[in-house]
């Protein structure tokens, strides 16, 4: 399955933040939207980084006295590693696995942000595929048994 196919049927709105946002404001966005990471965009909407819960926890552990002063730009992961919307979902999973990410921005051929994939999305797709495979095998077995 192509990433674009998955996003068209599963993607909620894209929640983003800006480099100048406070870490507290960004953390509130993550919490209120029940997401673990979000793209960081510039004033033109171009993807410039990714902010994850892991980035915030890292800042908390390494710079606790500065936490209230920190901005997204101080802790975000940049430049962002992405996948393209015409990639296969397996390729996106491989990128996440190789980079040890749980979230991956999706861009089009021009580099415009199209969505975010999570490892949960990939697992849901794999589960659906395995269920379909099991049903086909069961049906084949039943058909062969009664032939």
Tell me the DSSP string of 76-134: -B-SPP-EETTSBHHHHHHHHHHHT-SEEEEE-TT--EEEEEEHHHHHHHHHHHHHHHH
pLDDT band for 11, please (50, 70, 90 cuts): low
Quick one: average pLDDT of 121-139? 76
Please tell me the least confidently modeled range out of 6-15, 36-45, 52-61, 82-91.
6-15
Tens of pLDDT along 78-125? 999 999 999 999 999 999 999 999 999 999 988 899 999 998 888 877
Burial label, 137 (beta-carbon count in 10 A; 0-12, 13-18, 19+): exposed
Task: Name the pTM for this structure.
Answer: 0.82
Structure tokens at 42: 């510039």
pLDDT band for 132, please (50, 70, 90 cuts): confident
Output the pLDDT for position 86.
94
Output the pLDDT for position 71.
97
Residues facing 2 on adjacent strands:
88
Q: In the chain, pLDDT over 90 holds for what percent of residues? A: 65
Output the pLDDT for position 122.
84
Could you give the domains of the chain?
3-145 (3.10.580.10)
């Amino acid at each position: 399955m192509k990433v674009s196919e998955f996003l068209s049927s599963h993607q909620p709105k894209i929640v983003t933040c800006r480099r100048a946002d406070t870490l507290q404001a960004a953390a509130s966005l993550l919490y209120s939207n029940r997401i673990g990471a979000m793209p960081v965009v510039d004033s033109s909407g171009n993807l410039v980084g990714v902010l994850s819960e892991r980035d915030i926890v890292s800042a908390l552990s390494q710079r606790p006295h500065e936490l209230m002063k920190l901005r997204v730009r101080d802790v975000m992961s940049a430049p962002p590693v992405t996948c393209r919307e015409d990639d296969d979902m397996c390729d996106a999973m491989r990128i996440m696995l190789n980079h040890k990410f749980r979230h991956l921005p999706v861009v089009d051929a021009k580099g415009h942000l199209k969505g975010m994939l999570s490892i949960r999305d990939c697992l849901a797709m794999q589960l659906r595929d395995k269920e379909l495979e099991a049903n086909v095998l069961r049906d084949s077995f039943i058909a062969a048994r009664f032939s």
